[in-house]
Amino acid sequence: MINAFSHMCIYVLDQDSAKAFYTEKPGFTLIGDHDMGDGIQWLTVSPPNQPDLEVVLADCRMGHDAETADQLRALVAKGAIGPGVLATDDCQKSYEELSARGVEFLQAPTERFYGTEALLRDDSGNWFSLSKRAPVSGS
């Protein structure tokens, strides 16, 4: 039986730049940085309050032929990939803190039926929802 996700993958355009972005901007913890050969690193970070989840900052060549890697790089750079939602207790405060650290936002905090959401981009072009969930009805 599957218990949980242990790793997730975010394709990045430059692993060294991504390492700096994720550790310096949102403050993720560097878990692993190992040379895999051919200029590719096994590079993992974890969200500050979720050490059991390792995020692989993957070179687009990992596991792909050259043509597919080029297509993937183009999609990442275009901003066509949104890997997920980053949870926060205070969307406005997180927006202000991350903006002050140089994070690019596509949308300021906005009230939605599901909570407060801002949209940000990493240094490769991946976009994320930064969200504080609304209270669940009936609880």
| pLDDT for the residue numbered 16 | 97
d(C-alpha 11, C-alpha 73), whole Å: 8
Nearest to 110 by CA among 99, 118, 120: 118
Amino acid at 131: S
Per-residue pLDDT of the chain (139 residues; tens, 9 = 90+): 999 999 999 999 999 999 999 999 999 999 999 999 999 999 999 999 999 999 999 999 999 999 999 999 999 999 999 999 999 999 999 999 999 999 999 999 999 999 999 999 999 999 999 999 998 876 5
Class of domain 7-133: alpha beta
Which residue matches tokens 């590079």? Answer: 43
Nearest to 12 by CA among 98, 114, 121, 86: 121
Residues with Cβ < 8 Å from 41, sequence gap 6 or more? 15, 33, 34, 35, 59
- Spell out where 38-122 has E strands: 40-46, 54-59, 84-87, 104-112, 115-121
Q: Backbone phi, then psi, for 114, in 5-degree steps?
A: -95, -5
